[in-house]
Chains A and B, each alone.
Chain A
Amino acid sequence: MLVTGIKSKPVYAPLQADTRGRYHLMLGMGVGAAPLLRVIDEMRIGGAQALQHTRVLFVPDAGAANAGAAAAIERFRTAAVGNVQTFPGTPALLEEFRTTLGKSLMGTRLYVAGPESFIGLAMKIALEFNLNKDEIRAEECGTLARRVYCIHCRATTETVRTNIVQCIACKRWLLVRDHYSRRLAAYMGVMVDAEAPGELPPLKEAFL
């Protein structure tokens, strides 16, 4: 039903330090702190120089898995990272991210760690600044909840965990596909009962 094997579905890999870069910009959310701290450790082993040009923008997760957030921030600070900033939510972080990219120089590497929807929103902005695959690393961790774009009314429904979802704007029932748009940072949702109105497949949790 999901239509698998779609090439646009993003693929992520564990973060690794890329010390060929001169500047390192890290974005993290919630449990994404752990991969970023791992990269910082790799950099310290490779020579502390890279850490002087490292900046971390972080959003503690608002959910229940928040216990380690304060500790994570403290660890960033003690890891001798030049500049750590925390934000109350993703929009504020992304605004600062956009401003930072506008002032950044060639030689910058981007590391993103967090839920897939967070990575997607960061990638969307990175794309506007013409960052290519060889400048970005992303590790997915946390919830798999999706942003779903309604191809009928163009509204985006956030935090979708189920195989089908009712569009927040037009109320159509949408099938959540694996077809992903980097430009919209969302999966495509297609009306599921267009041919047989009211005939819906069973609602199942699919993206936890």
Chain B
Amino acid sequence: MNDAQTLAVEVVGVEQVTPLIKHFKLAAAGGGSLPAFSGGSHIIVVMQGAERVHRNPYSLLGSPQQLDTYEIGVRRMEESRGGSHFMHDTVTVGSRLEIAHPVNLFGLDKIARKHVLIAGGIGITPFLAQLEDLHGGAVPYELHYSVRSAEHAAFLERLRRREGERLHMYYDSEGQMIPFETLLATQPLGTHVYVCGPAGMINHVINTARSCGWPDSHIHWEQFSAPPVGDAFEVFLARSMISVHVPHDQSLLESIEAAGVEVPYLCRGGVCGFCHTRVLDLDGELVHNDHFLSDADKAKGNSIMPCVSRARCKRLVLDL
């Protein structure tokens, strides 16, 4: 995806739903319907900040049947690189934003015999849209939703009303934990598990499922990593014949884009593999932060996902 393919939207609703999460409703700036999407999809919101452009992925949480508005939930990150603070502090009803078309990297398995959904905090958002697809269907499902405390449970009333006994709540403040081992050891054959939440929770679910004998094809997860900060370095783009400085708090992808070179991308979170780029030369080491390349590919060091990964070097040469 490149900015040429973005849609102009207008913010038509903003609601503070928890102390840290704001719920935004976006409508097509020219009126009319927005592009169709399936549960689990995300959009990239392009924000023109004072210093720089932010492009952050957010899951669509509204019903895929209602295309007059898109809904997203934005958690205010403590260590924000600017995107979530921009959304929280400067975006109001009437604000104009650019978004990229929806992409689904976290779809439900269409022939599953049962779905187990596990959400931690803001990780509830992709499930809200998926539940719209599951609700009233023939396939059994259950949702396990873990939050810090009651006041942090975003969209809880909506979930209670719709899901009833299929919703299982866990509050850290009450010392409640999702019983991962019991949950995953007792699922009928043909079940799929989906997890979205903090990195620790995702890793724990993946590891527990595997130790219970689950094959990887039944384990699904989504985590949008914010690009980690690191040391500044120089990158030379061999085909464009330009040199670009990557500051410590900006990602490689963002720096390349700021220099006017377009790189294809979809998720900007190290998941989809779309921005995969060949490394031609390097006088140091790559710092891989993505979930896409295998450990073997990372060790080879001849390619990089510039959306979240960087380099510890003086000079990196990319095939761009």
**A residues with CB within 8 A of B:** 20-23, 101, 104-109, 129-135
Contact B217 A132 (CB under 8 A): yes
Q: Could you tell me which residues of chain B, from 145 to 203, have a CB within 8 Å of some CB in chain A? A: 184-191
Minimal Cβ-Cβ distance residue in A for B215: A134
Contact B217 A106 (CB under 8 A): no
* Interface size grouping (class) on chain B: 20 to 34
Distance between Cα atoms of A133 and B187 in the complex (Å):
19
Which among A23, A109, A131 has the greatest number of chain B C-beta atoms within 10 A? A131
14 more CB-based (< 8 A) A-B contacts, given A20-B215, A105-B186, A132-B218: A20-B210, A101-B189, A104-B188, A105-B185, A105-B187, A106-B184, A106-B187, A106-B189, A106-B191, A106-B213, A129-B113, A130-B111, A132-B217, A134-B216
**B residues with CB within 8 A of A:** 109, 111-113, 184-191, 209-210, 212-218
Distance between Cα atoms of A113 and B188 in the complex (Å):
24
* Chain B nearest Cβ from A108, distance in angstroms: 6
* Chain B nearest Cβ from A127, distance in angstroms: 8
Residues of A within 8 A of B215 (CB): 20, 132, 134-135
Distance between Cα atoms of A23 and B214 in the complex (Å):
10
Distance between Cα atoms of A23 and B213 in the complex (Å):
8
Minimal Cβ-Cβ distance residue in B for A19: B213
Contact A129 B216 (CB under 8 A): no
Residues of B within 8 A of A22 (CB): 185, 212-213
6 nearest A-B residue pairs (beta carbon): A107-B213, A22-B213, A130-B190, A134-B215, A132-B217, A104-B189
Minimal Cβ-Cβ distance residue in A for B189: A104
Contact A20 B213 (CB under 8 A): yes
Contact A106 B212 (CB under 8 A): yes
Out of A101, A107, A130, name the residue touching B112 (CB < 8 Å).
A130
Residues of B within 8 A of A105 (CB): 185-189
Distance between Cα atoms of A107 and B215 in the complex (Å):
7
Contact B213 A21 (CB under 8 A): yes
* Chain A nearest Cβ from B53, distance in angstroms: 41
Distance between Cα atoms of A105 and B109 in the complex (Å):
18
Distance between Cα atoms of A134 and B219 in the complex (Å):
12
Residues of A within 8 A of B209 (CB): 106
Distance between Cα atoms of A132 and B218 in the complex (Å):
8
Minimal Cβ-Cβ distance residue in A for B188: A105
Minimal Cβ-Cβ distance residue in A for B192: A130
* Chain B nearest Cβ from A25, distance in angstroms: 10
Out of A20, A129, A133, A134, name the residue touching B189 (CB < 8 Å).
A129
Distance between Cα atoms of A20 and B209 in the complex (Å):
11
* Chain A nearest Cβ from B108, distance in angstroms: 12
Residues of B within 8 A of A21 (CB): 213
A to B CB contacts below 8 Å, 15 in the list: A22-B185, A22-B213, A101-B189, A105-B186, A105-B187, A105-B188, A106-B212, A106-B213, A107-B185, A107-B214, A108-B213, A129-B113, A132-B215, A134-B215, A135-B217
Minimal Cβ-Cβ distance residue in B for A106: B187
Distance between Cα atoms of A137 and B112 in the complex (Å):
20
Minimal Cβ-Cβ distance residue in B for A108: B189
Distance between Cα atoms of A101 and B113 in the complex (Å):
12
* Chain A nearest Cβ from B52, distance in angstroms: 43
Residues of B within 8 A of A107 (CB): 185, 212-214
Residues of A within 8 A of B189 (CB): 101, 104-106, 108, 129-131
* Chain B nearest Cβ from A26, distance in angstroms: 15
Minimal Cβ-Cβ distance residue in A for B110: A130
Residues of A within 8 A of B218 (CB): 106, 132
Distance between Cα atoms of A130 and B186 in the complex (Å):
17
Minimal Cβ-Cβ distance residue in A for B190: A130
Minimal Cβ-Cβ distance residue in A for B191: A106
Distance between Cα atoms of A101 and B213 in the complex (Å):
16
* Chain A nearest Cβ from B207, distance in angstroms: 12
Contact A106 B188 (CB under 8 A): yes
Contact A133 B217 (CB under 8 A): yes
Residues of B within 8 A of A135 (CB): 215, 217
Distance between Cα atoms of A109 and B189 in the complex (Å):
10
* Chain B nearest Cβ from A47, distance in angstroms: 15
Which among A22, A105, A135 has the greatest number of chain B C-beta atoms within 10 A? A105
Distance between Cα atoms of A180 and B190 in the complex (Å):
24
Minimal Cβ-Cβ distance residue in B for A134: B215
Minimal Cβ-Cβ distance residue in B for A22: B213
* Chain B nearest Cβ from A196, distance in angstroms: 42
Distance between Cα atoms of A114 and B109 in the complex (Å):
30
